[in-house]
């Protein structure tokens, strides 16, 4: 099934009078990997927060297909399949790796993940099904052997991949990845790249905020460039790479 396009128009966000996002129009399409780049503080994470409902823009519309998201709290947006990963790894330290990934299935199971941990027949069945799905997601990253360990026992790069496994296990409609390659070594970055490319199918809208320009230029179909809360360019990697404004404000700067 084709996922709906995620669009926004006229998006404004400010904090205490300080402008963070200004008059943003965007269209994140299914089947594509969209990159969102820009210097530190440009507003990339804030835009994700507006899309997930964590931040409430003062103005503007956000639509998933023809469904307006304005006013919907984060949990309701998650129920519509909008899932994100975080810039800093946010795994539960007291749950095992596989249990952390199973939490990503909450919206897919009627009993909920907590019920699945109760010693009831329904809970046991759900737990087994969730564990199977979570193990398959870990297998995408070659992390099945880490399933029963605790996050702190894994290298930081692997912890980040576990977080991404948790984001994809529930087959989201919209996947927002905030610096997924941060802290990954070369082999882990290759695993990540392979998985993201495999996920780029018409049933998913995928948006990647990333400072690793090789990764962004290599996997994205289209890239939006944000600077001081405004889009300064949008196009294919080749178009963005040669855009004079982009070269000036970003690719030619120390952030490159
Ligand atoms: N909750 C908040 N309260 C006040 N200011 C905020 C808040 N969230 C973000 N900002 C401000 O908004 C601006 C954009 O921040 P944001 O984290 O969205 O940028 P970014 O492009 O994701 O940066 P980075 O690449 O460093 O993660 C910054 O000036 C930041 O201080």
| Nearest ligand 1 atom to alpha carbon 18 | 5
So what's the ipTM on this one? 0.96
pLDDT of residue 119: 65
CATH 3.40.50.620 is the classification of domain 1-81+173-256: no
pLDDT of residue 249: 81
pLDDT of residue 107: 67
* Domain coordinates in residue numbering, the chain: 1-81+173-256, 92-171
Query: What's the gap in Å between 55 CA and the centre of ligand 1?
Result: 11
Question: What is the edge-to-edge ordering of all strands in the sheet holding 205-209?
Answer: 82-84, 174-178, 205-209, 33-37, 222-227, 230-235
What gap in Å lies between CA 223 and CA 37, rounded to an integer?
Answer: 7
For the chain, residues with pLDDT lower than 70 are 107-120, 122, 250-256
pLDDT of residue 149: 97
Query: What's the gap in Å between 43 CA and the centre of ligand 1?
Result: 5
pTM of the full structure: 0.89
Q: Is 227 in the pocket of ligand 1 (CB under 6 A)?
A: no
pLDDT of residue 106: 75
């Amino acid at each position: 099934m084709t996922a709906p396009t995620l669009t926004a128009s006229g998006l404004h966000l400010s904090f205490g009078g300080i402008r963070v996002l200004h008059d943003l129009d965007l269209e994140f399409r299914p089947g594509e990997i969209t990159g969102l780049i820009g210097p530190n503080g440009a507003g990339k994470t804030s835009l994700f927060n507006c899309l997930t409902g964590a931040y409430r823009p003062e103005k503007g519309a956000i639509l998933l297909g023809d469904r307006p998201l304005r006013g919907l709290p984060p949990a309701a947006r998650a129920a519509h399949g909008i899932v994100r990963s975080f810039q800093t790894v946010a795994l539960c330290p007291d749950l095992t790796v596989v249990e952390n990934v199973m939490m990503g299935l909450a919206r897919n199971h009627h009993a909920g993940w907590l019920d699945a941990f109760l010693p009831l027949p329904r809970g046991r069945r759900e737990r087994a099904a969730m564990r199977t799905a979570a193990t398959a997601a870990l297998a995408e990253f070659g992390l099945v052997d880490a399933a029963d360990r605790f996050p702190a026992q894994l290298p930081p790069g692997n912890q980040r991949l576990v977080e991404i496994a948790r984001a994809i296990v529930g087959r989201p409609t919209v996947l927002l990845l905030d610096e997924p390659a941060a802290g990954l070594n070369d082999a882990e970055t290759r695993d990540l790249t392979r998985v993201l490319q495999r996920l780029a199918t018409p049933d998913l809208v995928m948006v990647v905020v990333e400072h690793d320009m090789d990764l962004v230029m290599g996997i994205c179909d289209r890239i939006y460039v944000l600077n001081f809360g405004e889009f300064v360019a949008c196009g294919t990697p080749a178009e963005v790479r040669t855009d004079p404004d982009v070269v000036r404000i970003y690719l030619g700067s120390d952030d490159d």
